Structure 1
Amino acid sequence: MSQELVYERGLEDAKQFARIMYIAHAATFFFSLGMLSVLVLIVNYIRRPETAGTMVYSHHTWMIRSFWWYVVWMAVAIFLAITIIGIPLAWLVGVVAWVWMAYRIIRGFLDLNNNRPMPV
């Protein structure tokens, strides 16, 4: 078996695993508002070094950054909710963060299927 075929097979395996990660992020995000995404995040951190030098690496980075920015925005929403005046604003920030995260998951999944790296 040639080295090129081994590389292509490894890349396809990495892409398939990244697809599973996107689906896992989506499932945990939609059913637990992201609280269980911590488990998927850990797997992203573990598997990302194995994909160094490929476009799949950018997808793991995209998922990791998406998670942390979502956490930041939800923390802002929780902080605003603590103040009585900020409750409507907290709701708005939470909804915008949720829609933004859904966009990031969908865009990443589609770009992965189209063999495009994510902007890093």
Structure 2
Amino acid sequence: MTQDDSPHSPHIDRGLTQGQLVHLMYALFAIGVLSAGLLGAAAIAAVVLAYLKRSDMVGTVYAGHIDWIIRTFWWGLLWMLISAALMLIFVGYATGLVAFIWIIYRIMKGWLAHFSGETPLPGL
């Protein structure tokens, strides 16, 4: 068995490294969010990919990014749904804008941390 065939190899799926996969997840998530939901399937694909690769990245610097992407998706979805319900009393527009900005912030913070070789810090 060569080094690239070992289970601890950084290569996953046709030569993509774990780092490249994390970049792909952030890119898909950003496309899904910035397209104002028109390409929402891209954000869903990012989260599905994160869930599929979560066990492969346990114990690596990328594990924090996977958790970050998953948490951002679910919390963002929750706040967008709450904002949609609040639109009946016109408060939802403001909360929806805040939720959208928060999601963009989380994507940027996580992606920049990934470029720096760090894990995003928990919190906001």
Question: Over residues 50-90 of structure 1, what are the superposed CA-to-partner deviations in whole Å (9 max), with x where a residue is unaligned?
Answer: 00001101101000000000011011111112x3xx21x10
The 1:32–1:18 alpha-carbon spacing in structure 2 relative to 1, beyond 3 Å, is same
Inter-partner Cα distance in structure 2 for 1:43 and 1:115: 20
- Counterpart residue number, 1:24: 28
Tell me by how many angstroms 1:48 deviates.
Answer: 1.2
CA contact (8 A) 2:84 2:92 kept: yes
* Greater share of residues in helix: 1
CA contact (8 A) 1:55 1:118 kept: no
- Counterpart residue number, 2:121: 119
**Displacement over 6 Å in runs of 4+:** none
Inter-partner Cα distance in structure 2 for 1:40 and 1:118: 17
- Counterpart residue number, 1:97: 99
Out of 28, 37, 45, which is 1:39 matched to? Answer: 45
State the one-letter code of the partner of 1:110.
Answer: L
TM-score normalised according to structure 1 size? 0.83
TM-score normalised according to structure 2 size? 0.81
Ranges in structure 2 where 5+ consecutive residues have no aligned partner: none
RMSD: 2.3
Tell me by how many angstroms 1:2 deviates.
Answer: 7.0
Ranges in structure 1 where 5+ consecutive residues have no aligned partner: none
Tell me by how many angstroms 1:94 deviates.
Answer: 0.6
Q: How many matched pairs?
A: 113
Out of 73, 78, 81, which is 1:75 matched to? Answer: 81
CA contact (8 A) 2:80 2:96 kept: yes
Inter-partner Cα distance in structure 2 for 1:49 and 1:118: 18
Inter-partner Cα distance in structure 2 for 1:29 and 1:92: 17
Greater relative CO, 1 or 2 (CA 8 Å, sep 6+): 1
